[in-house]
Structure 1
Amino acid sequence: MKILHTADWHIGKKLHKHDLSQDFDLFINWLCKAIKEYSVEVLLVSGDVFDLANPSSESRKQFYQALVQLRELKCKIILTGGNHDSPAMLNAPSEILKALDMHVIGGMPDDISDTLIPVENRVGKTELVIAALPFLRDVDLRTAIEGETYSERVEAVQKGIQNTFKMAAEVCKVQYPNLPALAMGHLYAAGISTSDSERDIQIGNLAAFDADQFGNYFQYIALGHIHKPQQVKAQVPTFYSGSPIPLSFSEYADQKRVLIIDTDNNFNSESIPIPTFRQLLKVSGNIEQLQLKLDSLESHAVLDTLIEVILKEDNYDATKIMQFDQLVSNFDKTGFEIVKHRTDFAHQLKGASELYKESIQLEDIKPKDVFEEMIAQHQYDEETRKEILMAFDELLEEVQSAESAKPE
């Protein structure tokens, strides 16, 4: 049996206000061809199906259209919720989708056995079981204790994740004895490489989970949340498939991929590269160098190439800034679009507030960045500062989850 692992679709994502819906459609078209070519029988999507907890009607339509395309391939589909997803929104059509052999686990159910999905082969025999574990929110992992220190709360979150995977393994052993099992997860494992487009999870990413704590029961662990494709050092094969399309300029050099697990070959996985539908470019230099580089661009992608332009000069110069603004404003080349630009003066030291005003566009600023800028203006000891940041992260997670309750 062949199982395809992907994650972090982020339907509805905009890259500096540029809609990426075409990128996702092209990916789904390619994915359908790959499923046919490799005779895939099970598709795993490990969280962050949508980019927002309350996706637009257009995003929801795109999601269901993708499911219709995939359904025609007679492939079992298992999707789990991520930290960007609303469990309630994902779970709403779950009963209808289940009848179509599409299983959705939007949030952690009360009974962990509800996350276990048996998989039959083409002759109707149950061949393996999938522990489809979604993103584990703070409320799923621990009970708040008054007076609990920062380090104790972090330890409780990590222990909660470990216990969840351990419980899933134990229930698998009881309900599906002698059957191989795979697990899905959406979390931040320690020792991996991130990109700018991942939103902080758990307690400000300080609760990075030690992958050794996954244990050794599962034959393969299919992870989501980290957009850079990579393997995690653990007791069993553990991989981030990565996002199928670049979601930030920090991912411009990543080779996007999906993974195919072969149960007949000791559950070994094969990395299948996804074609580049759209290039992301970073162009930097002084005014003259930028002009030359922009003039010499040649398009090699299906969709328009998106560009980040960085003016690099030794000394601050208002005239250079004006010339740079004109260069960006006047840029008009078929197949290319400048969506982000900033300045970098080597010999000018600036305070944090100045950097926010002059170098960072509004869409680049994360809520936590703003909060850290604010508390930096106060004198706190390290333990108090950690407590404040942890409280902020917990509130931010609650707000993001509550977005799903808002009307469109």
Structure 2
Amino acid sequence: MKILHTADWHIGKRLHKTDLTHDFDLFINWLCDYLRAHPVDVLLISGDVFDFSNPSSESRSQYYKTLIKLKKFDFKIIITGGNHDSPSVLDAPRDILNELDIHVISQMPEQFEDCLIPIPSEDQAELVIAAIPYLRSRNLQRQFDAENYENKQEAVKESIAFHFQETAKLAKDNYPDIPLIGMGHLFATGASVSESERDIQIGNLAGLEVSHFGNAYDYIALGHIHKPQRLSAETPIFYSGSPIPLSFSERANEKRILILDTENSFEPESLSIPKFRELVLIKGNLEEIKTKLALIKNDYPLKTLIEVDMLETEFSATKTYELEQVIEAFDTTNCEIVRHKVTYKNTSEVERGVSSAENQVSDFTPKEVFQKKLDGLDETKDMKLELFSAFEEILEELNYSEE
């Protein structure tokens, strides 16, 4: 049986106001070309289908059109919800999708058995998928009381571990001697993250250890981290990564899908996704930036996006103005400077405020804004963790109420 593992589609994502709709469409077109030549039996999508919990009508349309394209290949599709996904949005077409052999587990069911999806071969199950979505605070609190642990973080980790281990136990009881694949959407210790994931290292999902998954799984298909990678464990535990770059920190990452052939092994084949757009970060003094900008050209289907970071020793309003003029005059075909920043090493506080391009609030997630507020408070580390955890719960409740 062949299985394709992907995750973190983030449909509706914008990068510095640049819509990534075409990037995703090109990925899906490439994927369909691959599937025509290399059929699979199951497609796993491990969370964060959308970038926003309340996606636009255009994003929802792109999602449905994508599923229609993929269903032409007549395989089973299993989708789990991520932290960016609204359970109500994913659940809305669930009855119709079930008829099309598309299974959606948007949030953790009351009964763990409902996460188990057997994959039949002729008259019996050949494989079982434990489709565990992103675990929200309300899921975790029903299992453990934080007061029984040194702190809430430890209680959260143990609760996540309980969900994976209990689901695996039920799978082995109900489907003995059948291989088991787990799906998850979380941050595990040792995973390498990018700028677009800055807030996941704090709060509820920080530092889950691979031992928490137990040893009953033959493969674990993870989402949440955008860089494809294998965790250090005896069990093959993989992040497929996002199929397209979602931040400039991912510009050097080689995007991939993972293919398992269970007849041979549960170690997947890693298949590189073509690059459809280049993200370029230019650093240096003013003269170096001029030289590097002059050398840029576009060899890809979509517009090249450029960030400029000018680094100078002494403050100079003239150089700041000249950089602005260089950016305004830049007109290389199918290339665009989407952001620039100026940093002077030897500056006073007043000069620094004048010379540096300040980050806008829109550059940060709500969690990042709250974390910056916490950084300025004279509180203990444990208290800050408690405050951040409470803030996460409030955010979840607000999103849940809006739905």
TM-score (norm. length: structure 2): 0.93
Q: Distance in 1 between matches of 2:400 and 2:27?
A: 27
Alignment-mate amino acid for residue 326 of structure 2: L
Instruction: State the shift of 1:192 in Å.
Output: 1.1
Contact 2:134-2:185 within 8 A present in 1 as well: yes
Contact 2:260-2:269 within 8 A present in 1 as well: yes
Q: How does 1:180-191 map to 2 (within 5 A)?
A: 180-191=179-190
Q: How does 1:9-20 map to 2 (within 5 A)?
A: 9-20=9-20
SS in 1 for 2:275: coil
Q: How does 1:302-381 map to 2 (within 5 A)?
A: 302-348=301-347, 354=353, 358-381=357-380
* Matched residue, 1:263: 262
Instruction: State the shift of 1:321 in Å.
Output: 1.3
Contact 1:52-1:84 within 8 A present in 2 as well: yes
Q: Distance in 1 between matches of 2:337 and 2:232?
A: 38
Contact 1:137-1:202 within 8 A present in 2 as well: no
Q: Deviation string for 1:285-331 (max 9, x for gaps)?
A: 22222122111112111111111111111122222111112222222
Q: Provide closer, same or farther for how the CA distance between residues 41 and 143 of structure 1 changes in structure 2, counting only shifts above 3 A.
A: closer
Instruction: State the shift of 1:371 in Å.
Output: 2.5
Alignment-mate amino acid for residue 337 of structure 1: E
Moved more, 123-132 or 336-345: 123-132
* Matched residue, 2:106: 106
Q: Distance in 2 between matches of 1:154 and 1:3?
A: 34
Q: Distance in 2 between matches of 1:198 and 1:104?
A: 24
Q: Distance in 2 between matches of 1:202 and 1:318?
A: 38
Instruction: State the shift of 1:245 in Å.
Output: 0.1
* Matched residue, 2:42: 42
Q: Deviation string for 1:110-169 (max 9, x for gaps)?
A: 111111111123x45421010011000111012599994995211111011110011111
Moved more, 233-242 or 7-16: 233-242
Q: Provide closer, same or farther for how the CA distance between residues 356 and 298 of structure 1 changes in structure 2, counting only shifts above 3 A.
A: closer
SS in 2 for 1:314: strand
Q: Deviation string for 1:188-247 (max 9, x for gaps)?
A: 001111001126348526632111111111110000000011001223100000000000
Q: Deviation string for 1:162-193 (max 9, x for gaps)?
A: 10011111111122122111000000001111
* Matched residue, 1:156: 155
Alignment-mate amino acid for residue 321 of structure 1: T
Alpha carbon RMSD of aligned pairs, Å? 2.4
Matched, 1:394 2:388: no
Alignment-mate amino acid for residue 258 of structure 1: I
Q: Distance in 2 between matches of 1:221 and 1:147?
A: 27
Q: Provide closer, same or farther for how the CA distance between residues 380 and 362 of structure 1 changes in structure 2, counting only shifts above 3 A.
A: closer
Q: Distance in 2 between matches of 1:150 and 1:365?
A: 32
Alignment-mate amino acid for residue 38 of structure 1: H
Q: Distance in 2 between matches of 1:147 and 1:12?
A: 36
Q: Deviation string for 1:61-87 (max 9, x for gaps)?
A: 000000000000111111100000001
Q: Provide closer, same or farther for how the CA distance between residues 204 and 118 of structure 1 changes in structure 2, counting only shifts above 3 A.
A: same
Instruction: Report how many residues are paired.
Output: 402
* Matched residue, 1:63: 63
Instruction: State the shift of 1:386 in Å.
Output: 2.9
Moved more, 362-371 or 72-81: 362-371
Q: Distance in 2 between matches of 1:224 and 1:67?
A: 19
SS in 1 for 2:168: helix
Contact 2:186-2:205 within 8 A present in 1 as well: no
Alignment-mate amino acid for residue 155 of structure 2: A
Q: Provide closer, same or farther for how the CA distance between residues 243 and 147 of structure 1 changes in structure 2, counting only shifts above 3 A.
A: closer
Q: Provide closer, same or farther for how the CA distance between residues 195 and 283 of structure 1 changes in structure 2, counting only shifts above 3 A.
A: same
Matched, 1:140 2:139: yes
Q: Provide closer, same or farther for how the CA distance between residues 206 and 357 of structure 1 changes in structure 2, counting only shifts above 3 A.
A: farther
Q: How does 1:206-225 map to 2 (within 5 A)?
A: 207-225=206-224
* Matched residue, 2:234: 235
Q: Distance in 2 between matches of 1:148 and 1:346?
A: 48
Q: Distance in 2 between matches of 1:83 and 1:182?
A: 21
Instruction: State the shift of 1:366 in Å.
Output: 3.0
Contact 1:8-1:48 within 8 A present in 2 as well: yes
Q: Provide closer, same or farther for how the CA distance between residues 382 and 77 of structure 1 changes in structure 2, counting only shifts above 3 A.
A: closer
SS in 2 for 1:160: helix
Moved more, 125-134 or 380-389: 380-389
Q: Distance in 2 between matches of 1:125 and 1:377?
A: 59
Contact 1:261-1:268 within 8 A present in 2 as well: yes
Q: Provide closer, same or farther for how the CA distance between residues 167 and 59 of structure 1 changes in structure 2, counting only shifts above 3 A.
A: same
Q: Provide closer, same or farther for how the CA distance between residues 77 and 388 of structure 1 changes in structure 2, counting only shifts above 3 A.
A: same
Q: Provide closer, same or farther for how the CA distance between residues 147 and 159 of structure 1 changes in structure 2, counting only shifts above 3 A.
A: closer
SS in 2 for 1:243: coil
* Matched residue, 2:174: 175
Q: Distance in 2 between matches of 1:73 and 1:356?
A: 55
SS in 2 for 1:197: helix
Q: Deviation string for 1:311-366 (max 9, x for gaps)?
A: 11112222211111222222222111111111122233759x95997342443223
* Matched residue, 1:79: 79
Q: Distance in 1 between matches of 2:120 and 2:2?
A: 12
Gaps of 5+ in 1: none
Alignment-mate amino acid for residue 299 of structure 2: H
Instruction: State the shift of 1:399 in Å.
Output: 3.4
Instruction: State the shift of 1:35 in Å.
Output: 2.1
Q: Provide closer, same or farther for how the CA distance between residues 369 and 125 of structure 1 changes in structure 2, counting only shifts above 3 A.
A: closer
Matched, 1:33 2:33: yes
SS in 1 for 2:55: coil
Instruction: State the shift of 1:373 in Å.
Output: 3.4
Gaps of 5+ in 2: none
